[in-house]
Structure 1
């Protein structure tokens, strides 16, 4: 029994040594990415929101994409991209189900 306990302890020690670099990297990123926002962050957001373009500027920039000003080649390209995205969505569904027609019940 003592040999079994010694083997389990040795295995646990090996696992801790092997996992230590990955956990250190995880904690390094977690401290930055998972921390709550600071008051300075809200001030920065408020300042950035004040600098954004007004609705008139946005309409002026997007005016080209109104119905009457898109060329046929741009419209065709938009249709092809849309069809491609939809196709990849449905192929992902089929791959996820691992079956072409519905789910196996």
Structure 2
């Protein structure tokens, strides 16, 4: 057994072991590292997906449902209370914390309104209107106009 050695539990020739020692590890490129990392992340997310999907489904069912009929009186009373606070200027007596919480809720409602508008338009910056679009009203006004000089307009 002079010409053989054990490597990782396997009996291999001695010259094979010496060639293993002489090779230097190859540097992994950035793309290979990113691919390896993406594989690890994918496998982790694939294992976590069923649990997270069940949680998302439960939360969506509870939080995104419209209000129940028994909740409407509470909603109406809170809205009337808010209107009363604005009319009597009682918001001046709020602590900074209360004011920040209420303004954060107000901002959230406004932001979700604009997000809903963007979803409805299917575009972020206004409606997509074709360049050659002319409304019916504008066409009607243009037809009614009299051109003074038909050659230079």
TM-score interval, smaller chain: 0.3 to 0.5
Structure exhibiting the larger radius of gyration computed from Cα positions: 2
Question: Which structure has the highest strand share of the two?
Answer: 2
Q: TM-score, normalised by structure 1?
A: 0.37
Question: Which structure has the highest helix share of the two?
Answer: 1
